[in-house]
């Protein structure tokens, strides 16, 4: 049974930074697409960034390119989302997802991800 646990959310002022972590436990494929999604109040959940763990291939949503960086620590089975220059529109619940598709278009398909975390709140105000 795979479990994903997010941490690192909180309240930050505009222009500030946060780093989110997602720790995976249980059996998970080493060649695996892991991603961050977010859901703002009253909006649909959207893709933020994705990482193919076997090749360090990354994808980013247009609104976060140049500000957010997704990375991994293989030894800890953990991925991170470094968020810089945060804006109020980055506010939302951030979810970690695993075992999805990592193609240029496929990484945002939420139905393709097998596992999801419970989410961590990020508030920029």
How far apart are alpha carbons 124 and 117 in whole angstroms?
Answer: 21
pLDDT at residue 8 is higher than 90: yes
Identify the pLDDT of residue 45: 97
Q: How far apart are CA 29 and CA 61, in angstroms?
A: 24
- Distance from the Cα of residue 69 to its chain's centroid: 10
User: What confidence tier does 1 reach under pLDDT thresholds 50, 70, 90?
Assistant: confident
Alpha helices (H) along the chain: none
Q: In this predicted structure, what is the pLDDT of residue 92?
A: 98
Q: What is the pLDDT of residues 10-66, one digit of tens each?
A: 999 999 999 999 999 887 777 789 999 999 999 999 999 999 988 879 999 999 999
Say which DSSP state 43 is in: S
Cα 91 from Cα 54, distance rounded (Å): 30
**pLDDT at 76 exceeding the cut of 80:** no
């Amino acid at each position: 049974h795979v479990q994903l646990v997010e941490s690192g959310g909180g309240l930050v002022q505009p222009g500030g930074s946060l780093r989110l972590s997602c720790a995976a436990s249980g059996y998970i494929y080493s060649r695996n697409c892991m991603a961050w999604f977010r859901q703002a109040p009253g909006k649909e959940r959207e893709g933020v960034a994705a990482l193919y763990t076997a090749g360090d291939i990354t994808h980013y949503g247009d609104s976060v390119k140049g500000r957010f960086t997704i990375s991994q620590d293989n030894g800890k089975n953990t991925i991170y989302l470094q968020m810089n220059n945060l804006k109020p529109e980055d506010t939302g619940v951030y979810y970690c997802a695993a075992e999805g598709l990592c193609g240029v278009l496929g990484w945002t398909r939420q139905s393709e991800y097998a596992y999801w975390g419970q989410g961590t709140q990020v508030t920029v105000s």
